[in-house]
């Protein structure tokens, strides 16, 4: 017995042109996805690496994080200045609303994670003697308001910003489980080709 081909979501004569994301939106989605997932691996593995690996790995983690922050700002600008992919027509009203909320939360996490990491790093007591360099190519500033604070206050802020950085990480794992699981479920179980909306 042959399995029917997945049906594109919201494919109708009027929606044809816009049921998929634009190529730029797809490119930004996949570059950021790879960087975010890679950065989670680097962030989580930092503590279990040999001593002489820790510094280069954390420095790379910081550079990737700042790159994500810049790319996500670009992505939001693109998103608000271009017509979004048509709403997934075959999802229920509730399903569509849940997808919108999940995407919005993912955008918040893509901003919140690098920002909290940058704040945490700016309050680091050794920041002055370890200047930040993006991929070891050119200097990147710390957040001046934080670096100028009293050292004792900075020490406590370092922990206070580190905790939300880790919590946002936990929220990201949960959201990604739902996001990726949801995309694969629609694709393979519901037989709706949601992936095609995001794959060139
Ligand atoms: C293997 C991993 C991933 C897969 C298979 C995947 C798949 C998809 C698909 C199919 C869509 C289109 C959904 C639709 O509108 O119908 C989408 C949208 C989206 N994805 Fe992913 N994704 C992945 C990783 C990520 C990661 C790591 C993030 C961010 C942390 C992310 C954030 C988003 C956002 C925010 C949207 C909504 C885009 C918009 O409407 O502007 N995705 N993803
Ligand atoms: C896409 C953006 C980012 C993601 C997804 C991310 C994720 C993570 C995760 C999951 C951890 C491990 C937390 C834990 O222990 O549970 C971590 C640790 C850390 N992150 Fe990030 N991060 C990002 C951006 C940044 C940025 C921009 C900076 C600094 C400029 C930064 C600095 C750090 C530092 C210093 C640690 C602690 C490493 C250690 O000593 O164990 N992160 N990050």
- From first to last of its 200 residues, the chain has per-residue pLDDT tens of 344 444 444 443 334 446 789 999 999 999 999 999 999 999 999 989 999 999 999 999 999 999 999 999 999 999 999 887 776 555 677 878 888 999 999 999 999 999 999 999 999 999 999 999 999 999 999 999 999 999 999 999 999 999 999 999 999 999 999 999 988 988 888 777 788 889 98
Residue 178 three-state SS: helix
From ligand 2's centre to the CA of 65, what distance in Å?
8
Q: Is the CB of 58 under 6 A from ligand 2?
A: yes
Q: What pLDDT, on a 0 to 100 scale, did the predictor assign at position 89? A: 58
Q: Is the CB of 174 under 6 A from ligand 1?
A: no
Question: 191 — phi, psi (to 5°)?
Answer: 60, 40
Q: Is the CB of 176 under 6 A from ligand 1?
A: yes
Asked if 182 and 105 touch (Cβ cutoff 8 Å), the reply is no
From ligand 1's centre to the CA of 148, what distance in Å?
38
**CATH code, residues 16-197:** 1.20.950
How far is 26 from 57, CA to CA, in rounded Å?
28
């Amino acid at each position: 017995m042959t399995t029917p081909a997945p049906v594109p979501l919201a494919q109708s004569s009027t929606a044809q042109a816009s049921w998929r994301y634009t190529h730029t939106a797809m490119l930004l989605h996949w570059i950021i996805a790879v960087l975010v997932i890679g950065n989670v691996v680097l962030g989580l593995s930092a503590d279990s690496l040999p001593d002489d690996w820790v510094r280069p790995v954390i420095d790379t983690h910081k550079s990737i994080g700042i790159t994500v922050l810049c790319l996500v700002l670009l992505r939001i600008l693109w998103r608000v200045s271009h017509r979004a992919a048509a709403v997934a027509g075959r999802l229920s009203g509730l399903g569509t609303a849940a997808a919108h909320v999940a995407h919005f939360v993912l955008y918040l996490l893509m901003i919140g994670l690098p920002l909290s990491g940058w704040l945490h790093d700016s309050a680091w007591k050794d920041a002055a003697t370890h200047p930040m360099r993006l991929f070891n190519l050119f200097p990147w500033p710390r957040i001046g308001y934080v670096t100028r604070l009293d050292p004792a206050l900075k020490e406590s802020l370092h922990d206070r910003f580190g905790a939300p950085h880790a919590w946002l990480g936990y929220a990201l794992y949960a959201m990604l489980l739902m996001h990726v699981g949801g995309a694969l479920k629609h694709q393979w179980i519901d037989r709706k080709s949601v992936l095609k909306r995001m794959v060139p």
